[in-house]
């Protein structure tokens, strides 16, 4: 086991829960950094945003492995972030309704102000053909308001989904290979 602590650069309860399931001892330090990716390719935004978060916290907290995550939903290669209002959430859900889209989760691990690992995972998701009332009821539950694309598979948003082609934990903001990498960092000191 290594002496360096693990820091999660996210206030997401879903990401904290995954690390707890792994038995990782960590603390949360939320990055205050603005997520303003510079890449010309929107599909690279989640990895870049994860790096921004991890680096920001890593510069504040020395001698710690800092984990940064970011998840975005892409419809026709256009990113859908978190809804700004209930009307915006309903608009997003109507756009996704009865269609396929891609969800990308980026992850970065930083140590002493440097990125030691960064990656992303893509998931293909297909919404079933939901009625407008179903979508409104879901928006009224307030569940979509803190989730990219205005829904979460780990909550009541699962009822909107027809099929998923990937690892379920991508939806929780931390894919399986990342969970393994975090475990290796924590238990073995691995950082590549």
CATH class of segment(s) 5-188: alpha beta
| Residue 97: per-residue pLDDT | 98
Separation of first and last alpha carbons in the chain: 16
Residue 4 clears pLDDT 60, i.e. is over it? yes
Tens digits of per-residue pLDDT, 52-93? 999 999 999 999 999 998 889 999 999 998 999 999 999 999
Mean pLDDT of 170-178: 49
| Residue 166: per-residue pLDDT | 67
Ranges of beta strands (E only) in 128-172 are: 161-165
Tens digits of per-residue pLDDT, 122-161? 889 999 999 999 999 999 999 999 899 999 887 889 899 9
pTM for the predicted model, two decimal places: 0.80
In 3D, which of 177, 187, 189 has the Cα closest to residue 24? 187
Catalytic residues: 70
Q: Which CA distances in Å does 63 have to 111, 122, 182?
A: 7, 31, 16
In 3D, which of 98, 80, 46, 76 has the Cα closest to residue 149? 80
Q: Which CA distances in Å does 127 have to 100, 124, 161?
A: 6, 10, 4
More confident residue, 128 or 190: 128
Q: Does residue 68 contact residue 108 with C-beta atoms inside 8 Å?
A: yes
Residue 30 clears pLDDT 80, i.e. is over it? yes
In 3D, which of 84, 81, 92, 77 has the Cα closest to residue 40? 77
| Residue 192: per-residue pLDDT | 43
Mean pLDDT of 23-40: 85
Separation of alpha carbons 164 and 123, rounded Å: 7
In 3D, which of 3, 106, 15, 8 has the Cα closest to residue 57? 8
| Residue 101: per-residue pLDDT | 96
């Amino acid at each position: 086991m290594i002496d360096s602590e693990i820091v999660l650069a996210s206030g997401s309860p879903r990401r904290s829960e995954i690390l707890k399931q792994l038995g990782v001892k960590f603390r949360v330090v939320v990055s205050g950094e603005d997520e303003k990716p510079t890449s010309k390719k929107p599909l690279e935004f989640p990895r870049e945003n994860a790096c921004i978060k991890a680096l920001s916290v890593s510069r504040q907290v020395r001698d710690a492995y800092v984990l940064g995550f970011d998840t975005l939903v892409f419809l026709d290669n256009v990113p859908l972030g978190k809804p700004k209002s209930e009307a915006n959430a309903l608009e997003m859900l109507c756009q996704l309704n009865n269609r396929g889209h891609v969800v990308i989760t980026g992850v970065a691990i930083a140590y002493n102000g440097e990125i030691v690992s960064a990656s992303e995972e893509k998931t293909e998701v297909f919404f079933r053909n939901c009625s407008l009332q179903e979508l409104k009821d879901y928006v009224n539950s307030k569940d979509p308001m803190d989730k990219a694309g205005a829904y979460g598979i780990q909550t009541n948003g699962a009822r909107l989904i027809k099929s998923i082609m990937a690892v379920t934990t991508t939806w929780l903001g931390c894919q399986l290979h990342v969970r393994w990498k975090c475990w290796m960092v924590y238990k073995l000191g691995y950082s590549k």
